[in-house]
Structure formats: C-alpha cells, structure tokens
Amino acid sequence: SSKATPRKSVKAQTINTSEASYSKADIKQAIVRHLHSTLGTDENKADNHAWWKATSAAMQELVLERLRTTQKTHYMNDTRAVHYFSAEFLMGRLLSNNMHNFNLFETADAALKELGVELADVLEEEPDMALGNGGLGRLAACFIDSLATMELPAIGYGIHYEHGLFRQEIKNGAQIERPDSWRDYGNPWEICRPESIQEVPLFGYVETKYGENGRVQKEWHPGNIVKGVPWDIPIVGYGAKTVNVLRLWQSESSDYFNWDVFNSGGYVDAQRENIQAETISKVLYPNDETEAGKELRLIQQYFFCACSLKDIIRRYKRAHGDDWSRFSEQVVIQLNDTHPAIAIPELMRILVDRAELDWDTAWGICSKTFAYTNHTLLPEALERWPVRMIEKILPRHIEIIYEINHRFLTLVEKKWPGDNVMKAKLSIIEESTEKMVRMGNLSVIGSFAVNGVAEIHSKLVKENLFPEFEELWPGKLTNVTNGITPRRWLKACNPLLSELIGKKIGDDWPSDLPRLDKLSEFADNKTFQNQFMKVKQKNKEALAAEIKHQTGISVDTKAIFDIQIKRLHEYKRQHLNLLHIMALYRRLLENPDYDMHPRVFIFGAKAAPGYTLAKDIIFAINKVADKINNDPRVNHKIKVVFLPNYRVSLAEKMIPAADVSQQISTAGKEASGTGNMKLALNGAVTIGTLDGANIEIAEEVGDDNIFIFGMTVDEVTKLSTKGYNPYDIYYQNKELKAVLDWLDSDYFTPGQPGALSSLKNSMLSGGDPYMCLADFESYSEANKALDSAYRDKPRWAKMAILNTAKMGKFTSDRSIADYVERIWKLTPCEVN
C-alpha cells in the first residue's frame, strides 16, 4: 500500500525535447548578445560572474517566453490554482536547474566551451537563494518544482528577504554569523512587478458604525500603511512546458499620512508605532523562538499574507467581478506551517468588512479555501502570539479572531456540553497569565484539511496534538508524506549516476521516479555493482577535493563517507553522533588494532544564532575534529570534517558522495525529514531511528538495506512516563561515562577546561531531553553492523543500489499528486 502509484490525471510529463531545436549556435549568440547589451562588457573582459549573468539572461529569455504562454493559458482557461503561502522558500541556485528542465544543459555546456568558458565555473558564481532555514523551506521549493513539472496552476507566495539565512563562518571552532547578501550584484531571475504593488495597513484603531438596516459596520483606521512590491521568480517545470511563478513581497514605505489618526489625537501613538517599512522584509528569522523582534515577525507574516490575498482577489475579480460564490472553487490556499495563519482572519476581514458579506457566508468561503500543513510537534514551533500584540498591530483581526473563537466554542459546547476543560483546551485563546492566540488551533479551525508530513507524524498529530479536532471533524486530519524533486537531487547534482541509470533503464525516471525500481534486478549484478560503486568513488573524490579546498583537511576516499547534514538541533542529535565518534577515538587509543574500516564523519549544519547549546555542539564537533585529525595515532582511521556554511549548493556536492546517511533523531521528534530521502536516492545507506519518513524508507528498502537502532516512539513515551534518568546509564556504561567526562577535561580545548561542559551537562544534570544516552548503546551496535557490512563489498554495493532503486515513492511529484487528489482537487492545464 505504501508503493507509489502514478495517478493518471496528474502524471508528470515526460520531457519534451522540442527545445533541443534551440541550438548550440543560438545559445552562444544569446549569451554573447547579453554580454554585450545587458552587461556592457565583451568576451575578452568578462569574468565568470559576467558569464554567469549573461548565460542566465540567455536562459531567462526562454523562461519568460514560457511564462507568458503559461499565464495566458491559465487566464484563458480560468483555472483553479493552488496558492502556496510560505514564509520560507529555500531555492538554492537556479541556472543549472533551469537548463536541465529545458533539456539544454549539455548544449549550453558545449556552447560555453566554444567561448572558452567552463560551465562548471560559471555555475559556481551563482549565490544561493537562501530564503529559508531548513527542511520546511526546501520542501516548499521542491513542491513548486513538482507543481510546474506536473503542469498544475500554482503560485508560491512569500517574502522577498533582503538577507536570507546568514552565511556561516567557523572561527576557532565557533560559528560566526555573517549577513547573506544574495542579490548584492543583481539577480538575473527576478522580475519586479510595480504594476501589482499592494498596500498593507497596520496599527491604528477600529471604528464601529451602524448602517441603514442596523448592520454593524467596522472600519479599521490604520496608523500606518506599507507598500508591498512583488518580485516574481519564474519556476520552470521539468520539460519546460509550464512555467509558474514564485511571487515574493518586498516592503517599502508608502507616502501615507493618516489624517484620521492625527485628528483623533493619535498622532504621537502612530509615530511611536511607526515601524520602518523597509525593515519588514529585511531579514529572514533564523530562530524558531526569537524574543526580540517577535513583533516584527508577526508583522512579516501579516505583510506577506495581506499582499498575497489582495493579489489573489484582484485576479479573481478580473474573471468573476463581485460574485464571491465561486471563490473557493477557484482558489485553494495552502498554509505552510502556522506562519501564514493570520491569512484566515484577513480573508474574513476582507469578506465581511470590505465585501460586506454576512458572517456565515464569509466563513463558508473562508473555511473552504484554506488547508494547513503541520511540520512539527515540538511545542516551541506551534506559534502563539500575545493577544495584546495582535490587538496593537492588527486591531480588527483580534476582534475577528474572537468572533471565530466564539462561534467555534458554541460548536464545542454542542459536542461536549458543559465541558469547560475541553473548551479551554481547544479555544484559540489561551488563558494563561498573558492571554495568547494559538495559531495552530486557528489553523485547524479555519482549514478544510490539515496534514502531517509522514505517516507516523500524521498519526501523532491525530492522536496527541489534535485528537479532539479529529473527533469533532473526522477526516479533516490527513497525511501527505513529504518528497523531494529528483531533478535537482539526482539528475542535476549527480550527473555520473544519472548517466549510469539512464543507460540501464532509460531516461524517463526524472519525471517517473518509481521506474528506478527497475534497477533492483541489477542489484546483484557484478558489473553493475562495479559501475555503481565507481560512480560513488568518483563523487567521493570530488567531495574530498572540496573538503581540502574548504578546510585544508585531507581525507581518504577509500574510507566510509558518513554524512549528517541538517539544521543543528538537539532533537536531531548531532551530539549523539559526536559521542559515538569520541567513543571510537577512545577505542582506538586503548587498542591501536581496534578493528574498524576507516571512516570520515562529515557534518554540515547551521545553528540558530540565539540557540546557545546548538552553537556549543558545533564548537564541540570542531574541537573534537581538530584533535582527532591531528592525532597520528588515529587519523588514518577516523577523520572528522565540519563543512562551513551548509546550504543547498553545498548539499548538492555532499549528497552524491555519501556512503552513510545519519538520520538519528529521537523517535517522535522528526516529523519527516527530507535529507534522508535525498541521501538514499543517491545510494547512501541510512543509519537511523524509527522516526519520521525513516519508517517509510525502511518499508521501501527492506530491513536488510538500512540500519535501524534505538527506541521506538512508544518506547520513548514509556520511558519518559516511567521517568528517565540519564545518570542510570552514565553510571552503568563505562565507555559512555568516560566519553562524557572527557568533555569536562581540557583534552579537546587545551588550556580551557570546561569549554565543552555544557554538552555534558545537557545530557546529565539537564536531564538529556532527547535521550541520547538511552539510545547510545544501540547506536554503537548499529554502527558496528554498518562497519562490517561496508567491508563486504558486494553486499554494500547491493544495499546502495537498492536504496537508489527503492526511492520512487519519495519524489515530490508523488507528494503533489497526493495533495491534488486528497486536498487541492486541481486539474493539470496543458500549456501549448
């Protein structure tokens, strides 16, 4: 049942090679033309940056042509579209991807060669578009890729951050954050659309008026109005038939001066509240739980939701005038986490206050328009805003939220008469010392569908997070397992493997990933095993060169390349990995003949700037790495590498070279994971817990082709109910005790004893909230099993091949097909 079945109505298109009629000579000419007339330089003077811009501009000509055709077709057909609201889109680089999707990569490569330029060098010039933190933002990017590929009408809506996620430097082992400036020298893909500017009101007060028929009319007199300027990034589907749009809003000040506020004596207030308009889209928040700037973060959310809704309504009205009855047939809005939840009361405000619909009609429309995706069960990520903050910034919205809540609680009263505990639990308003608005509850109440992102996660959402909502509205809560685009995460990033696969099973797999299963029949074939592992070896050599270049560390490419790449967070347990590395180190010091295959542990991770322990873990990894890498007693067996500034383009270099994929979160904490899918797709074998999508990966690849360890969700729950005491394990496991105590010494930080103690403390006196110690022994055993499996070359090759072969289910095309069928109800629109 877990096997992906391609659905006829939304089956991805196979690539149309008609663009191949765009010849090498055409591309050459276009590049040179842009070098001359867009950049004002020439072939002799141009550096790689200029070549990148000219090449991108040449591609953009094709992109924009398809964009125009797509928009015209969607408009003519008055298509229903999905609007993906997300505070994050982690796009990475676009040039290589766009070339692949136009099937022009090889042609462009050849064209540039004739101009004496290496495409690979040109691609390196492109700064990543890093408008996101991690999995959630990258998922949004994979989804809009699939939507375009499957010819589905879709728009991504987000924020045009001036600074994306910070650039990470490592100084003396510690993370330093530097501003990211992705568009400092101009971005060749984005198009400014001043014709579609929107205005967004903020602050001020609400006036209550009484209409002729006694109708209460609310008028919001804002204290401030900012301008939202849209920037469009074209999203090219694979095969380049449909080109959709990612529309990102940039804030600017408007020339607005509020006479009403001034006249009613509110001028001083208005001034105090006068946030600088430009700061709204200045930076991406890299923290789940920022104290400072909370207000600004709420304003960011409202800002992009308000702009996007106005944009959607403008487009709707162009086709349907003031007839609102078809709105929810034409428009579906997907809320990516609770960040855009404020869109729900905003749409109500527009419908009730501006369109003057009665409440029930408005709510009928609203609650058929929104759907919500939950990405985590971690409490700190379920947003809550102080009532007084919303009151101040969005005075009308707080009234609407109260009204939504009032009507909702009437429903709760009907279902559970007299049950005030239930009401308190389900209410949108949390009656704590400070009254809070629960955006999670608002999202569930205001949406017609709510989904988690992997089977287990959705089950936990139903059973633990929102069980009463499930009782109230059976069927509203559902699952859509995440996916990744195989275009970026195999075809483009791993050309050697893609070519090998193509030779074996043909070239249709990028838009029909379950086809990879055909590779299974060659899993035992010696020749294929050799070819497959030769590709891996070459990719490892390329990564080794990159490691050398970035860090100066030399690594043995015959060693196991063991990779853990993801946001730094305690629940993801990079520190469990580190404890195990330290244990191996000790084993080697105690017994120089300790039998293990050489292994290179490679990390990539950014820590939220305010998350001290996460930064301490990065510091510890680097300090342990320094020591081990420079210890001649062990450095032929272990190396530890922390690659700075982990981002999409770095992931593209690391993933093809991985032998081992570390997916070791505490069971129940990682909603899905998507890096797990990317690594397995590229032939890495997972060592992981039964958490998130690891469970579904294990189902697909089979128990023999994955190393599962640690407690299950139920065992974790049981242990914490019973009472978990990390000291029990500390005193009982000598090796673990020695490793933890080592952190207190100055062995890794000469002259600075205690510099790594915070780590130890978190896992002992701090209670070890993510149960690293409880899972350590099982993890260590799984690592031993992995080590011996690696040394059995045919066995390992088979495992690696089967990991690639069995990833069909995890294409984001399947995720999108699930959304379409179960939630969005869209039909593809062919663009000719």
Question: Where along the sequence are the contacts to ligand GFP (CB under 6 A)?
Answer: 71, 74-75, 81, 133-136, 139, 155, 196, 245, 315, 375-376, 453, 482, 567, 670-674, 692
* Residue from 228, 447, 429, 451 nearest 344 by CA: 447
Which amino acid is located at 387 in the chain?
Answer: V
Alpha helices in 453-494, H assignment, sequence order: 455-460, 467-472, 486
312: Cβ contacts below 8 Å, ≥ 6 apart: 83, 331, 333
Name the minimum Å distance from CB 25 to ligand GFP.
32
CB of residue 454 vs ligand GFP: minimum separation in angstroms?
7
* Number of C-beta neighbours around residue 113 at 10 A: 13
SS3 609: coil
Name the minimum Å distance from CB 551 to ligand GFP.
Answer: 24
Supply the angle between the helices 772-791 and 574-590 in degrees, to the nearest 10.
60
CB 575 to ligand GFP: min, Å: 16
In the complex, what is the shortest distance from the CB of residue 193 to ligand GFP, in angstroms, rounded to a whole number? 7
- 154 close to 84: Cβ distance less than 8 angstroms: yes
Active-site residue (options: 53, 100, 310, 572): 572
Tell me the β-bridge partners of 449.
371
Between CA 513 and CA 517, with CA 514 as vertex, the angle to 5 degrees is 115
Catalytic, 368? Answer: no
Name the residue among 186, 190, 204 with its Cα closest to residue 256.
204
* Closer residue to ligand GFP (CB): 494 or 665: 665
The residue sitting closest to ligand GFP, measured at its beta carbon, is 135
Q: How far is the CB of 139 from ligand GFP (least distance, A)?
A: 4
The span from the CA of 186 to the CA of 54, in Å, is 12
User: Three-class SS of residue 271?
Assistant: helix
- For residue 329, the minimal CB distance to ligand GFP (Å) is 15
CB of 687 to ligand GFP, least distance (A): 17
Nearest residue (CB) to ligand GFP, 444 versus 755: 444
Least distance between ligand GFP and beta carbon 81 (Å): 6
Which of 83, 375, 487, 623 is catalytic? The answer is 375
How many Å apart are CA 804 and CA 655, to the nearest integer?
12
- CB-based contact 299:249 (threshold 8 Å): no
Best CA proximity match to 155, nearest among 355, 331, 348, 351? 331
In the complex, least distance from residue 818 CB atom to ligand GFP, rounded to whole angstroms? 13
Nearer to ligand GFP, 605 or 729 (CB): 605
Q: Are 488 and 237 in contact (CB under 8 A)?
A: no
Task: Give the active site residue among 138, 384, 623, 678.
Answer: 678
Q: How many residues does the chain have?
A: 832
Nearest Cα residue to 479 out of 816, 809, 818: 818
Sign of CA dihedral 444, 448, 452, 457: positive
Name the region of 750 (left: φ>0; alpha: ψ -120 to 50; beta: rest): beta
* Amino acid, res. 621: I
Task: Choose, from 567, 623, 798, 809, the residue flagged as catalytic.
Answer: 567
The whole-angstrom separation of Cα 165 and Cα 133 is 6
Identified catalytic residue from 74, 536, 566, 647: 566
Minimum CB distance to ligand GFP, residue 233 (Å)? 11
Residue 315 or 580: which CB sits closer to ligand GFP?
Answer: 315
Closest approach, Cβ 734 to ligand GFP, in A, equals: 34
Strand 154-159 relative to strand 243-253, pairing: parallel
72 belongs to the catalytic site: no
Phi, psi of 596 (to 5 degrees): -150, 150
Position of tokens 């960011």?
A: 300
User: Do 487 and 652 touch, CB atoms closer than 8 A?
Assistant: no
Nearer to ligand GFP, 135 or 222 (CB): 135
Complex with ligand GFP: residue 327 or 585, whichever CB lies closer:
327
Does the annotation count 566 as an active-site position?
yes
Backbone angles phi, psi at 387, to 5 degrees: -55, -45
| CA–CA dist 62, 67 (Å, integer) | 9
Q: Which helix (H) or strand (E) holds 50?
A: helix 48-77
E-strand stretches of 664-727: 685-688, 707-708
Strand partners, 336: 373
429 vs 403: CA distance, rounded Å: 11
Taking the complex as a whole, the smallest distance from the CB of residue 670 to ligand GFP amounts, in Å, to 5
Q: Which two tokens stand for residue 302?
A: 């409202």
* CB closer to ligand GFP, 66 vs 639: 66
Q: How buried is 10 (Cβ within 10 angstroms: 0-12 exposed, 13-18 middle, 19+ buried)?
A: buried
| 462 a catalytic residue | no
The residue written with tokens 């994971």 in the block is 673
Give the integer Cα–Cα distance in Å for 356 and 217.
9
571 versus 747: smaller Cβ distance to ligand GFP: 571
Q: Which residue has the tokens 């619909």?
A: 357
67 vs 625 by CB, closer to ligand GFP: 67
Q: Which is nearer to ligand GFP, 147 or 261 (CB)?
A: 147
- 28 belongs to the catalytic site: no
Is residue 678 flagged as an active site residue?
yes
Q: How far apart are CA 467 and CA 712, in angstroms?
A: 21
Nearer to ligand GFP, 577 or 780 (CB): 577
Whether 132 contacts 90, CB under 8 Å:
yes
Q: Please identify, using beta-carbon distances, which residue of 180 and 670 lies nearer to ligand GFP.
A: 670
* Integer Cα distance of 620 and 578 in angstroms: 8
In the complex with ligand GFP, which residue's Cβ is closer, 671 or 816? 671
- How would you classify residue 265: left for phi > 0, otherwise alpha for psi between -120 and 50, otherwise beta? left
User: What tokens does 266 get?
Assistant: 């509110």
Active site residues: 375, 566-567, 572, 674, 678
